[in-house]
Amino acid sequence: MSKSQVNIGFLIPLTNNLKEDDSASKLPISEGANVFGRNDICISDKRLSRKHITLNASIDGSVDVVVEGSNPIVINSGDQRRKLYSRDKIRIADGDILELIPGHYTFKYVRSTVDKHIASSQAHKRVSYKGKGVDEAKKLVVKRQRQVSEDEALARILQMNELPPANSNEGLEAIRHFSVPKEKFHLSFRLLQVQGLPPWANSSSISIGDVIQGDVLVAVLSNYMVDIDWLLSACPVLSKIPHVLVIHGEGDGGVDHMKRKKPPNWSLHKPSLPISFGTHHSKAMFLVYPRGVRIVIHTANLIYVDWNNKSQGLWMQDFPWKDQKDVKKGCSFETDLIDYLSVLKWHELSVNLPSIGNVTINPSFFKKFDYRSAVVRLIASVPGYHMGPNLKKWGHMKLRTVLQECIFDKEFKNSPLVYQFSSLGSLDEKWMSELALSMSSGLSDDKMPLGLGKPLIVWPTVEDVRCSLEGYAAGSAIPSPQKNVEKEFLKKYWARWKASHTGRCRAMPHIKTFTRYNGQNLAWFLLTSANLSKAAWGALQKNNSQLMIRSYENSVIASLR
């Protein structure tokens, strides 16, 4: 707190219903800089910074708020609500309400009635003291007006960064009216629909009914969590598909429930987990039609909240049956797919397909489709200790191998990386360097390596979760022990979750995306079920001769430059 003798006003603590809290002391605001933080509230809360905000108060009663800590604050002024982040600045007026986050400590700024008169005389004295008269006074007025204009401009910028109202016609029109041509629909990365968003935010997104539709003959659904009751109600066509195989990662209780609820034509399979703490986390669909197969790689569990309340993504593409003359012709996508399916080891299904005849649904069955039009490469993780020829077959070593085959524009030399995910594992500097080496692979068009990129970790804050569509309940799908989050070396990587251009700031991310970028250009884009963890991507061991992976994951990567 500044010890200036001129009192400008007070921060008055408020209760949850925004009434004055008589049990807490008013915080005086003096002319000059006033610093407030955790030591100025009645309850010690280490989530607040010691220097959370600075209030720069002037003799005329104006107060500029600067956010000093890493956590945001909220300013409520009339019917306007503005969120400010670290180093943001805004001017507050008499009666405005400040909310410190996290913790929801609210204060009302009240200007001192006594010093309103003092301010007038003090301003007059300061002008007269220097003998500069009326002209100097006018200059001060002009300067003050300019400062006010600048602050108002800043406030408008801050407002523009918030989610625009549904009827707004400014700022995001280009992305709102964006739509993928129907002929390219099945070649696209797409977002899933989210309930409660304005129509423009869902205009190019899809539901589970858009994915599983038509005359499906066989469906193979691969996932971690499966709610059969919801799945059948959300996608009734599933009950009519003759053969459905669900490959899942549910525990014993979930398996018992699925066995009781599943239709008789459904089969269940849980792949083996040879290493402790692993999961079957892959999220994919393989839908066989009379004319071919639809392959879907996505990020959502087969449960209600994942397909309605969260930011999620998918890639899907349709592939035709092979011509008889091309039966033995393959491609990289086919090889990667069959290698992955072969590891799952499900019980083979014997089925009779119209116009096709009797076939066995096993990994080799999926060689019957022509994947040469695939616009992505498949990157999978499977549990085990991989060495020799399998060292570069899975996880981040597979990604490294695929990227090493790609040539990118020179603009991506040493360009940054983005890791965006929902669950944070127990990480260390060595492994982060290992992963960055894989993510940074590739050559520029002068045949020189692109070089290491600096990673940015995009993850929601506590405040993002609190203000989300689900509130604090959303946090259950964004897990990590506090000891993992607060590791000192991670501080240089953190970046904010923001999705204003898709209207999804408040739809917490269960989507996982990794990319390399320069400005607005992407070198490549990867959509995956894998979070940022050694279990998902693998960790090198034994002098880099062995890759240990705990979980099953699926990813697709598209090279864009």
Residues 492-506: tens digit of each pLDDT: 999 999 998 899 999
Give the range of the structural domain holding residue 214, as residue numbers without chain letter: 174-367
Domain containing residue 264: CATH number: 3.30.870.10
Kind and range of the H or E run holding 84:
strand 80-84
512 is in an annotated binding site: yes
Please report the pLDDT score of residue 187 as a whole number. 52
Q: Is 281 a catalytic residue?
A: yes
Choosing from 91, 111, 131, the residue where a domain stops is 111
Instruction: Decide if 465 is inside a domain.
Output: yes
**Separation CA 103–CA 46 (nearest Å):** 10
* Other beta carbons less than 10 A from residue 410's beta carbon: 11
Ranges of the chain with pLDDT below 70: 1-5, 42-46, 103, 113-187, 561
Burial (CB count <10 Å: 0-12, 13-18, 19+), residue 125? exposed
Q: Are 220 and 245 in contact (CB under 8 A)?
A: yes
Domain containing residue 77: CATH number: 2.60.200.20
**Beta-ladder partners of 192:** 206
DSSP string for residues in 473-534 = GGGGGS---HHHHT-GGGGGTEEE---GGGT-TTS-B---EEEEEETTEEEEEEEES--BSH
Q: Are 155 and 82 in contact (CB under 8 A)?
A: yes
Please report the pLDDT score of residue 45 as a whole number. 67
Residue type (1 letter), 19 = K
DSSP string for residues in 137-198 = HHHHHHHHHHHHHHHHHHHHHHHHTSPPPTT--SS-HHHHT----GGGGGG-EEEBP-TTS-
Q: Is 386 a catalytic residue?
A: no
Instruction: Decide if 422 is inside a domain.
Output: yes
Instruction: Decide if 238 is inside a domain.
Output: yes
Q: pLDDT tens for residues 159-169? A: 333 333 333 33
Our measurement of the distance from residue 378's CA atom to the centroid of its chain's CA atoms, rounded to an integer in Å, reads: 21
The number of domains in the chain is 3
Choosing from 347, 367, 387, the residue where a domain stops is 367
Indicate if 284 and 418 belong to the same structural domain: no
Is the full-model pTM beyond 0.85?
A: no
**Beta-ladder partners of 408:** 444
Q: Which two three-digit tokens encode residue 4?
A: 């200036």
**Separation CA 394–CA 381 (nearest Å):** 5
The residue among 439, 447, 412 whose CA lies nearest residue 561 is 412
Instruction: Decide if 152 is inside a domain.
Output: no
DSSP string for residues in 37-59 = -GGGSSS--TTS-TT-EEEEE-T
Instruction: Decide if 160 is inside a domain.
Output: no
| Options 52, 248, 298, 510, the catalytic residue | 510
| Options 52, 243, 280, 281, the catalytic residue | 281
392 is in an annotated binding site: no
Give 11's contacts (C-beta < 8 A, 6+ positions apart).
26, 27, 29, 36, 55, 98, 107, 108, 109
DSSP state of 311: B
Indicate if 430 and 311 belong to the same structural domain: no
Q: pLDDT tens for residues 183-200? A: 444 457 999 999 989 999
Please report the pLDDT score of residue 139 as a whole number. 53
